[in-house]
Amino acid sequence: MSEDILYDVADGIGTITFNRPQTRNAFTFAMYERVAEICDTVPTDGSVRVLIMTGAGDRAFAAGTDISQFRAFQTPEDALKYEARIDDVITRIERCAVPTIAAVAGACTGGGASIASACDLRVAMRSAKFGFPVARTLGNCLSVPNYARLVALFGPTAVKELVFTARLLDAEEGRGRGFYSEVVEDHPTLIARAREIAQTIAAHAPLTLRATKEAVRRITSAPAASIKGDDLVLMCYMSADFREGLEAFLAKRPPRWQGR
């Protein structure tokens, strides 16, 4: 797994690279944990002032969780533990002590889209495609905290439209909605621009950045804490439709939904 997540630091900027280009950088559980671990342990002594997250190559930021990881799901606890695990990872990314920048190229879907959404800023290559196409693929759902994060970014109608239609948001529309701060033409420019932004941020007052980041996190995350959603997770993950969606995805055929 050590090569699936690459991490290096240069000139005060840490770069996390999701390094499974053969799977469009789909995440294993170990990869999620490693990213969260890096965010947990970023030093606050000035040696790392900004983190950049990106995917290897120009085909994908990250295409969600590796679908093969779902084969072992059998019980209600499997579903609830998975969504709780993803929510924990996203929370730890949000709580990272330094600003985070997602440099997004290609597919940015499912868990990858959640990671990009948890970053403080996002820059996209024109090829970027963002979304949660679960209504078309597996028939599962997100945790309520992750829905709340998306509603805070896009608004309730836009979130329902994206999930209901299973469409992917292109880079220009993402910029128009304020999700991306910039859109660039090619991958070298994407990485260079992310580093330029990181260098600008790295030169600024660390405590101001940390206070602003935490204040915004508290404001946007407060309502979700009291909202329960385990019943919704179980309705989807324990259904025949989810099992059908999983098998259809792995067999590369259209799923046959039954609503049960």
Highest mean pLDDT among 116-120, 202-206, 232-236: 116-120
Q: What is the pLDDT of residues 180-193, one digit of tens each?
A: 999 999 999 999 99
- Asked if residue 66 is part of any domain, the answer here is yes
H/E stretch holding 124 = strand 121-125
- Asked if residue 214 is part of any domain, the answer here is no
Q: Is the pTM here over 0.75, yes or no?
A: yes
> Domain containing 19: what range?
5-202
CATH number at residue 27: 3.90.226.10
- Asked if residue 182 is part of any domain, the answer here is yes
The rounded Cα 237 to chain-centroid distance in angstroms is 20
Q: What is the pLDDT of residues 32-81, one digit of tens each?
A: 999 999 999 999 898 999 999 999 999 999 998 988 878 878 888 888 99
121-125 sheet: strands from edge to edge: 5-10, 13-18, 50-55, 100-104, 121-125, 182-184
H/E stretch holding 221 = helix 206-221
- Asked if residue 251 is part of any domain, the answer here is no
Residue 75: φ, ψ to 5°: -115, 165
Q: What is the pLDDT of residues 12-24, one digit of tens each?
A: 999 999 999 999 9
Looking up tokens 């996390």, which residue turns up? Answer: 16
Distance CA 205, CA 52 (A): 18
Q: What is the pLDDT of residues 144-183, one digit of tens each?
A: 889 999 999 999 999 999 999 999 999 999 999 999 999 9
What mean pLDDT do residues 194-214 have? Answer: 94
- Asked if residue 74 is part of any domain, the answer here is yes
Looking up tokens 């005060």, which residue turns up? Answer: 12
- Asked if residue 226 is part of any domain, the answer here is no
- Asked if residue 215 is part of any domain, the answer here is no
Contacts for 215 with CB less than 8 Å, ≥ 6 apart: none
- Asked if residue 225 is part of any domain, the answer here is no
The rounded Cα 148 to chain-centroid distance in angstroms is 14
Distance CA 194, CA 188 (A): 10
Domain count, the chain: 1
Q: Which of 20-34, 186-200, 228-242 has the lowest mean pLDDT?
A: 228-242
